[in-house]
Structure 1
Amino acid sequence: MGLYSFANDIYTFVAEPLMALLPEGSQMIATEVASPFLAPFKLTLVVAVFIAIPFVLHQAWAFIAPGLYDNEKALAIPILVSSIALFYGGAAFAYYVVFPLLFEFFTQTGPENVAVMTDINQYLNFVLKLFFAFGVAFEIPIATFLLIQSGATTVESLSKKRPYIILGCFVVGMLLTPPDVISQSLLAIPMYLLYEVGLLFGRLVRKRKEEKEAAEEQEADL
């Protein structure tokens, strides 16, 4: 709750991508009596959870770590750190890249006689949904790598399914973003590129594993 004293500043920061593009004379509005209090308060709760993600994941790691082998622990720590970094990276990508493009499109395509005056609560719900969508989407390399590493699938099998993956990325983009081509593409294209990153890491790890096994076989023969 210590963040509440900064609630208005935090909301102003989150609203900046839209506020910077509003036509002259336009502003955000509150259509409900309690919205000026509840919207920033809700945002501080979400930000608190957002900041606490490393701690929550560390606690989850502390719970499962005793049951893991040493080689599994060595792999799990980089995965944990990269998962956190990718989630934050997805949220940052949404704020600094997607929001400016998206809001510029929305504010400039409306009729000239329509004033753009977005409700602060509706705006918050909209951006939180996109923050979550991009944060989760950026976890795709981890998910792809774990599927390959666990033996649930192979790099070759996933490579053959690229057309379906591309289609799936755009379907997910359609479901998680507003109904416009720009926002759907801004989510779908990074999702597919991150999928390819996961395949790349899967290939590298498999190559290292094969080289290690070959070296062990040579030592055994000697």
Structure 2
Amino acid sequence: MGKLLENLHLVMLVGLVAAIGLMMGFHADTLTESAMLQWLHVFFGITWIGLLYYFNFVQIPTMPSIPAELKPAVGKYIAPKALFFFRWGAALTVLTGLILAWSNGYLVESLTYAEGYRLIGIGMWLAIIMAFNVWFIIWPNQKKALGMVEADDATKASSARTAMLTSRINTLLSIPMLYAMTTFSPLGG
């Protein structure tokens, strides 16, 4: 069991096989494209928002207490890997969400706040804004702050602050976004 759990790719594969087994065992005759998309949307969303909360609740507040000689390890090894999954989690969450809304026939109604679709529309627009922030503000500034692209010390400090503040904006927006996303269907819009 230790060997299985030491290999992340194998853990993910076994988890996927277990999920497919549940799907086939409980919903083989009723499993739909929509259900699969919803499952993927939630998986990618948990990855994205989980990392958003990790950065804001753990990494950012902890960095000032990390000894100076250890900080480069976070910037060189941990942050770039976490940012990879963070930005692709954002992209895939929004993509699967848009495809899910389209396949269920409420994409345009949601994005235009049609009657009965305003709550999910608000959630969708908040997620789109957040994903934009990830790809076009946080990521470019993090690359400078982490030294992945050439930048002087003043630019690195300014970029780190911009990335942090934008990440905090995303944390703020994630709270109403999650409400809109999780209550749309049960409350009927």
Bucket of the pairwise TM-score, normalised by the shorter protein = 0.3 to 0.5
For the pair shown, the structure with the greater C-alpha radius of gyration is 1
Instruction: Give the TM-score, by structure 2 length.
Output: 0.37
